[in-house]
């Protein structure tokens, strides 16, 4: 039988500023400490490791994962991964005979390898990812084996921190991403000349610029309209950045399996403009951004500029969409609620294996 509290080790490839790492951080710091003893393992250190330790959660950085498993002796190992085979993470879990192995499958990919069989339960980060996985693999979405759990967001903090006197008619949009070309779309730049022509006072605030964006702004003489910002590390810095804009401008050709920045902007009461991805690419952004409800969906640069102009010229509508987004984020993504759902999954798996009464 399992000891009390249940020991849970979260396993992840890195502890940098990415969304996957942030989700893991919110999980390990929000599980009920009277019922769960949590820790995190990563082969590499990063900014989030210090933040996790500041919340009195142990981190194991580097070293032999098998030795750490032997030391911590988790009842549950929770792996955060893209979904494809990662033997460096799974082999030690198999050798240690961890009783329950859960994965958060970030990109909804299928792992047909023999090691994939050690996973007891797969959590997808959106209904879209679960549905696409079932359609592309032919694997029935048995809820005892596959389910979705939205990423947690500190909605309470963002609701408190967001400004209450926002002027939605102010022509200012914000964008947040990593400075990675894979997080960008030409759409995030191509709408600029058109909107600046019609709204010369438009301001575009960007975190995570790539060289192509800097070159585009310079060659199109848009320096007075675009401001590039340094990366942010905390929710307080994200909220402060979003306080300076009237809408979140999202554009990423690969799409989002969930869209953490979108969810955080919604929690701040901002409408969001996004676009659909093509084919079987990620389209979780459309699960968050409902056209005309929590934001607007544009298909090309002209529609994107038009969506921005519509929101700036209809501030009451923009505010209504922002409120709807905040309500949706609170209802579906609140970190405390999501953590309780994860705890329920953990306990059900332990009972199913006869490890817990």
The residue ranges of every structural domain in the chain are 6-151+334-352, 155-333
Contacts 24+ apart (CB under 8 A), 220-227: 220/192, 220/193, 222/192, 222/193, 222/196, 225/192, 225/196, 226/192, 227/203
pLDDT in tens, 71-81: 999 999 999 99
| Mean pLDDT (whole number) for 312-338 | 98
Q: What gap in Å lies between CA 49 and CA 60, rounded to an integer?
A: 9
**Is the pLDDT reported for residue 2 higher than 80?**
no
Q: What is the mean pLDDT of residues 30-39?
A: 96
What pLDDT score does 215 carry? 97
pLDDT higher than threshold 70 for residue 250: yes
Q: Is the pLDDT of residue 273 over 80?
A: yes
Q: What is the pLDDT of residue 140?
A: 87
Phi, psi of 322 (to 5 degrees): -65, -40
CATH number, domain 6-151+334-352:
3.40.50.2000
Q: What is the mean pLDDT of the chain?
A: 95
**Measured distance CA(168)–CA(165) in Å, rounded:** 9
CATH topology for 155-333 is: Rossmann fold (3.40.50)
- Predicted pLDDT of residue 4: 77
Residues 6 or more apart whose Cβ sits within 8 Å of residue 109: 82, 83, 84, 133
pLDDT, one tens digit per residue, over 125-134 is 999 999 999 9
Q: Does position 296 have pLDDT exceeding 80, yes or no?
A: yes
Q: How many percent of the chain have pLDDT more than 90?
A: 92
Is 14's pLDDT higher than 80?
yes
C-alpha 349/C-alpha 337 separation (Å) is 19
Do 6-151+334-352 and 155-333 share a fold? yes
Residues 59, 66, 21, CA angle at the centre, nearest 5°? 35
What is the predicted pLDDT for the residue at 335? Answer: 98
Q: Contact 208/179 with Cβ under 8 angstroms?
A: yes
Residue 357: predicted pLDDT: 72
Q: What is the pLDDT of residue 356?
A: 83
Report pLDDT digits (tens) over 157-203. Answer: 999 999 999 999 999 999 999 999 999 999 999 999 999 999 999 99
Asked whether the bond before 114 is cis by omega within 30 degrees of 0, the reply is no
């Amino acid at each position: 039988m399992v000891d009390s509290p249940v020991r849970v080790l979260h396993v992840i490839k890195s502890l940098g500023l990415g969304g996957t790492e942030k989700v893991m951080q919110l999980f390990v710091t929000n599980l009920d400490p009277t019922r769960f003893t949590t820790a995190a393992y990563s082969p590499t250190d990063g900014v989030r490791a210090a933040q996790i330790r500041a919340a009195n959660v142990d981190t194991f950085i580097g070293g032999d994962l098998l030795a750490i498993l032997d030391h911590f002796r988790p009842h549950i190992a929770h792996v955060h991964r893209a979904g494809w085979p990662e033997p460096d993470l799974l082999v030690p879990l198999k050798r240690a005979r961890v009783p329950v192995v859960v994965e958060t499958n970030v990109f909804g990919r299928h792992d047909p390898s023999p090691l994939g069989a050690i996973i007891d339960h797969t959590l997808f980060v959106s209904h879209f990812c679960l549905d696409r996985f079932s359609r592309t693999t032919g694997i029935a979405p048995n809820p005892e084996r596959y389910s979705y759990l939205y990423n947690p967001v500190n909605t309470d903090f963002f609701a408190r921190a967001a400004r209450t006197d926002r002027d939605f008619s102010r022509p200012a949009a914000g964008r947040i991403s990593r400075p990675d070309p894979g997080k960008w779309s030409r759409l995030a730049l191509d709408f600029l000349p058109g909107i600046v022509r019609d709204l010369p006072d438009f301001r575009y605030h960007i975190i995570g610029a790539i060289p192509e964006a800097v070159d585009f702004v310079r060659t199109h003489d848009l320096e007075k309209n675009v401001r590039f910002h340094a990366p942010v590390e905390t929710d307080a810095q994200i909220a402060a950045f979003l306080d300076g804009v009237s809408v979140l401008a999202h554009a990423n050709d690969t799409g989002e399996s969930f869209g953490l920045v979108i969810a955080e902007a919604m929690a701040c009461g901002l409408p969001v403009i996004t676009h659909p991805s093509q084919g079987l690419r990620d389209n979780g952004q459309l699960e968050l951004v409902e056209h005309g409800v929590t934001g607007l969906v544009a298909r090309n640069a002209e529609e994107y500029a038009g969506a921005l102009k519509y929101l700036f010229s209809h501030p009451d509508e923009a505010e209504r969409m922002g409120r709807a987004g905040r309500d949706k984020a609170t209802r579906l993504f609140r970190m405390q609620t999501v953590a309780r759902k994860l705890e329920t999954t953990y306990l059900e798996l332990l009972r199913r294996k006869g490890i817990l009464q």
